Amino acid sequence: MKTVLISGAGVAGCVLAYWLGRNGFAPTVVERAPGVRPGGQAVDIRGVALDVVERMGLLGRVRGAATRMRGMSVLDADGHEVHRSTEATFSSGRLDSGDVELLREDLVGMLEQLALGEAEFIYGDRVTALSQDERGVLAGFEHGPARAFDLVVGADGLHSAVRGLVFGPEGEWAYHLGMHLAVFSAENFLGLDDWQLWQRDGDAGYGIYPVRGNSELRVTFGFASGPLDPGARDPEALKRQIAERMGALRWERPRLLEALWSAPDFYSDAMAQIRLDRWSRGRVVLLGDAGYCASPLSGQGTSVALVGAYELADALGRAGGEHGSAFARYEARLRPFVGLNQALATENPGGPASEESVGRAKNAFALRG
């Protein structure tokens, strides 16, 4: 039985672990966080990605956890409504589509629960060294002892440690989109009832929507920015930078700033894509954001991760674990799909891609079997 180390217990890592276990592999998932990461924005499952969820037996649960938005309002800098829609929202698209929007933490929780029956999970640790030869890969960890695996998969996000160890510095592969994003939770001090608010002033603005039966808000704040100094990624330093940019906007400034500083689940990062000429080197392969991040601006990162994980597991299963041909097949089949979905983030800078482009991208792949 071939052993596979998966770095990252997010959407891509959990889905891959599940399907590898089902295909006769022995997967081990290592995640630096102590458990499923709380918070985060709502994510979308669209098109062919819904087929992956259905094949995992989770479609009913996923639809049951979906957000229930009735529409949205667009506000000016002072909070006056300038547009409203009961047909679509910026975060999920048309409300009458078959796509599903749900909180990332809810989706990952479901996927992890399913994968636990197929894989070993190690939380609170991370990969710090990798060396490979014709027999396998020796992985070093921050806390646990070194272990040997047949294959290693980097599913550890935009700032992938596996990619850094095997493919080189992030700066060689990252394409920044000129924006920075912060996401955090707050009490529903705006009294929103299944209704989104979007506000923009110049190159900064908010997307705010209620979750958990309208008891909480998810606040997404975005502003124009290049890549930040890696040394400035400390959460408190990031909060100070975000607060400075938020403070320039007039609408609901005091309460939003208070919510930022008291948020238990603050997340912030530059909007960027990863563009590699190859997704594998030897016995190491990249998956999801680690290999081909489309960025949240595409609205398709979660769907691409779901499809990519299924396809990688399928390719390895069909090749009997022979990694060279499996990785080549995985990449050849998935690259056109990735390209279409990455293009969604750059089609309309400052706004969502067209419905036609989203429809084409989300369905530009068919699962086998």
Burial of residue 336 (number of CB atoms within 10 Å: 0-12, 13-18, 19+): exposed
- Evaluate whether 307 touches 181 at the Cβ level (below 8 Å): no
Tell me the C-alpha distance between 21 and 14, whole Å: 11
Instruction: Name the phi and psi angles at 90, rounded to 5.
Output: -65, -30
Q: Which residue type does 261 have?
A: W
pLDDT at 232: 59
* Predicted local confidence at residue 128, as pLDDT: 98
pLDDT at 248: 85
For residues 110 and 9, the answer to whether their CB atoms sit within 8 Å is: no
Low-confidence residues of the chain: pLDDT under 50:
none
Question: What pLDDT is recorded for position 228?
Answer: 67
Q: What is the structure's pLDDT at 39?
A: 78
Give the per-residue pLDDT at 197: 97
Query: In the β-sheet with 147-149, what is the strand arrangement from edge to edge?
Result: 127-133, 136-141, 147-149
pLDDT in tens, 342-354: 999 988 776 788 8
Distance, CA of 326 to CA of 217 (rounded, Å): 43
Predicted pLDDT at 230: 53
Query: How many Cβ atoms sit within 10 Å of the Cβ of residue 159?
Result: 18
Q: Are 287 and 12 in contact (CB under 8 A)?
A: yes
Q: Give the rounded distance of the alpha carbon of 337 from its chain centre.
A: 16
pLDDT value, residue 350: 66
DSSP string, 146-159: PEEESEEEE---TT
pLDDT digits (tens, 9 = 90+) for 195-230: 999 999 888 999 999 999 999 999 999 999 877 665
| C-alpha–C-alpha distance, residues 278 and 285, integer Å | 9
Which parts of 188-242 are beta strand (E)?
Answer: 195-201, 204-211, 216-224
